[in-house]
């Protein structure tokens, strides 16, 4: 299967929310891995089935201790949990101070994520810079998606980070702009910046900035999630991303489940 890394070059434009939304809509088996060294948000926002709290001691840190005997699907999944709604997650560190206990896990973990038989992996890598400890996860991904807002400072940092990544990875690169659906002109300006770069970024998506929809992924939503602008915009994005990293076997299974005449 495949590893998809989501990250930002500046601030908090919604990487965790985007990761949760994509994971909830992903068309195949998927694991959401929190690889943000600043600390886990999912354990704070979300609950286990039945509304019970997630175990914040079970995740990357416990995996780091167990990984001394090797990594693989069974080892990683043994330290995962399930969210209310069915999404499998590997919780991140509780605080930045715990990152030191990760040791040299980042590199082998990235390689293993990209080869899991269980399914695809969506890695929420948070903000990345040239010194970020989670960079090996990003470098191992088959698809790297940078999430940004449509502000000038966010786009400037996006441009610099894309240029650096293009010289270091062979992965496909994509950009998700989180913006109000009415800010189409601002989103087009981001695309213009990308067009002016020497780095080819063919995969571009506009994810709706939608506080109502985002509230569901912060544990306080009400109403019908499927009707929100967030889900409406994320549905096509998820399908396209999943297709980009699909293996021939994945495509064969999709064809069997949804014959051409039924799509």
Domain architecture of the chain: domains with CATH:
3-247 (3.40.50.300)
- Helix (H) or strand (E) holding 146, with range, is strand 143-149
Q: What angle do CA 162, 120, 7 make, to 5 degrees?
A: 25
Give, in order, the Cα–Cα distances in Å from 197 to each of 149, 158, 160, 190, 202. 18, 11, 10, 11, 12
pLDDT tens digit sequence for 233-263: 999 999 999 999 997 665 454 444 434 444 3
Return the bridge partners of 143, or none. Answer: 4, 172
What's residue 254's pLDDT? 44
Percent helix, percent strand, percent coil in the chain, to nearest 5: 45, 15, 35
Predicted structure pTM score: 0.92
What's residue 260's pLDDT? 41
């Amino acid at each position: 299967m495949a590893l998809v890394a989501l990250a930002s070059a500046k601030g908090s434009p919604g990487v965790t929310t985007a990761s949760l939304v994509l994971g909830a809509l992903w068309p195949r088996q998927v694991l959401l891995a929190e690889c943000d060294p600043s600390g886990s948000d999912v354990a704070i926002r979300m609950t286990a089935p039945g509304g019970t709290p997630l175990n914040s001691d079970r995740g990357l840190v416990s995996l780091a201790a167990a990984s001394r005997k090797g990594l693989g699907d069974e080892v990683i999944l043994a330290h995962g949990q399930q969210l209310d709604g069915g999404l499998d997650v590997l919780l991140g560190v509780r605080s930045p101070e715990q990152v030191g206990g990760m040791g040299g896990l980042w590199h082998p973990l990235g390689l293993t994520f990209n080869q899991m038989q269980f399914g695809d992996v969506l890695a929420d890598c948070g903000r990345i810079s040239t010194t970020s400890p989670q960079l090996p996860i990003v470098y191992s991904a088959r698809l790297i998606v940078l999430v940004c807002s449509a502000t000038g400072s966010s786009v400037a940092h996006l441009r610099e980070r894309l240029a650096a990544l293009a010289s270091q990875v062979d992965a496909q690169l994509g950009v998700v702009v989180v913006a109000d659906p009415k800010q189409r002109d601002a989103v087009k300006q981001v695309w213009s910046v990308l067009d002016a770069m020497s780095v080819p970024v063919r995969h571009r998506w506009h994810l709706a900035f939608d506080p109502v929809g985002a509230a569901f992924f912060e544990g306080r939503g009400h109403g019908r999630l499927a009707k929100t602008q967030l889900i409406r915009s994320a549905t096509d994005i998820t399908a396209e991303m999943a297709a980009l990293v699909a293996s021939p076997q994945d495509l064969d299974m999709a064809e069997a489940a949804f014959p051409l005449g039924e799509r």
